[in-house]
Amino acid sequence: MRATFPLLVDTDFPVLKRQRPDTLQVNLGYTCNQSCVHCHVNAGPNRTEQMERETVEQVLDVLRAGGITTLDLTGGAPEMNPHFRTLVAGAREMGVKVMDRCNLTILEEPGYEDMAAFLAGHKVEIVASLPCYLEDNVDRQRGKGTFDTSMRMLQKLNALGYGSDPALQLHLVYNPQGAVLPPPQARLKADYDHFLGEQFGVRFNQLFTITNMPIQRFGSMLLSKGQFNSYMQLLRDAHQDANLKQVMCRSLVSVDYQGYLYDCDFNQMLGMPMRHAGAGRMHLSDMLGRDLQGQPVAVADHCWGCTAGAGSSCGGALA
């Protein structure tokens, strides 16, 4: 796989400064039951990196210290971490909102059949990857049979109350098929609502459209097809200054499976950590008693992806 970082590091992206963080996005490891084409984490069944119990306890220590209102769990398939349930239960006991970035198919894997009920029981907000509402497109990105499994799992979640009970939020995530920007989020949600509701009786709350980042597996694909430079130009040309005020790196801290801190999940995948002023990279323990407000955000050329068009974040379009 060809790395894109050397092509991104020399940047003229605008300077960004942090606000006080309210969201801790924790990557519990790169193990996944799938290997998706658009995956910026390069996760898959053969990846063995997983957050250990000691680091999970450090995450809980940061939550106990206050200030963080949302715990956003990602991976890989975060549910495959052996300490996933411990972390979820501990955070919910503190009243912290928990989000699970779920690929849906994990809920049908052996050993995870009761995971949907666990998530519902702890009122975990589910952000589920469904890169299209058409079977052929989903299976092309994520593997044959993925669409059918995803529909069954969405129906299972609906039966538990997700998508209808206000306390059980279910959101879907759309990624473009190739080197293009996502379409308008509201218009696409209407298409998802109509098709999934009519064909499968599926209900969900919001649709998040997320721009594909030119890193890891997707970035390598762009290079192999000779599309990297044109895609980067597309992102630059579509930049909107207004999106700079809302980019997720200003209020979110990303944590890798070893407990090191980053300004966002994309920086984590590029190995661009948060650092002390004039010192080394920051760890979870460095968040305790430290005010991150005003700290500069580490940027590179991939950041244009978050400000292009309607903008992009882990919560979908910015505009």
* 3-state SS assignment for residue 164: coil
pLDDT band at 38 (very low <50, low <70, confident <90, very high): low
> What are the residues facing 126 on neighbouring strands?
100, 170
**Residue range 257-271: mean pLDDT, rounded:** 94
What's residue 276's pLDDT?
75
Q: Measured between alpha carbons, how far is 208 from 185 in angstroms, rounded to an integer? A: 7
Topology of domain 5-307, per CATH? TIM Barrel (3.20.20)
CA 122 to chain centre: 20
What's residue 94's pLDDT?
98
Tens of pLDDT, residues 281-303 = 999 999 988 889 999 999 999 99
Q: Which two tokens stand for residue 87?
A: 């972390």
Q: Average per-residue pLDDT in the chain? A: 93
Contact indicator for 250, 239 with CB cutoff of 8 Å: no
Verdict on whether the full-model pTM lies above 0.85: yes
**Residue range 10-15: mean pLDDT, rounded:** 97
| Across 111-115, 145-149, 215-219, least confident range | 215-219
Burial of 167 (0-12, 13-18, 19+ CB in 10 A): exposed
User: Nearest CA to 316 among 213, 181, 206?
Assistant: 206
User: Nearest CA to 36 among 124, 110, 101?
Assistant: 101
- pLDDT at position 39 over 70: no
Q: Which one-letter DSSP state was computed for residue 48?
A: -
Tens of pLDDT, residues 180-202 = 999 999 999 999 999 999 999 99
In 10 A of CB 293, how many CB atoms?
12
Q: Give the type of residue at 297.
A: V
Q: Measured between alpha carbons, how far is 306 from 8 in angstroms, rounded to an integer? A: 14
Contact indicator for 67, 21 with CB cutoff of 8 Å: yes
- pLDDT at position 40 over 70: no
Q: What value, to the nearest 5°, has the Cα angle with vertex 123 and ends 119 and 128?
A: 55
Q: Measured between alpha carbons, how far is 305 from 285 in angstroms, rounded to an integer? A: 30
pLDDT band at 278 (very low <50, low <70, confident <90, very high): low
User: Nearest CA to 300 among 3, 6, 2, 1?
Assistant: 6
**Residue range 11-37: mean pLDDT, rounded:** 90
Q: Give the type of residue at 242.
A: A
What's residue 126's pLDDT?
98
pLDDT band at 279 (very low <50, low <70, confident <90, very high): low
User: Nearest CA to 299 among 5, 9, 26?
Assistant: 9
Torsion of CA 84, 34, 254, 256, to 10 degrees: 70
Q: Measured between alpha carbons, how far is 144 from 151 in angstroms, rounded to an integer? A: 13
Tens of pLDDT, residues 68-120 = 999 999 988 999 999 999 999 999 999 999 999 999 999 999 999 999 999 99
User: Nearest CA to 304 among 253, 237, 255?
Assistant: 237
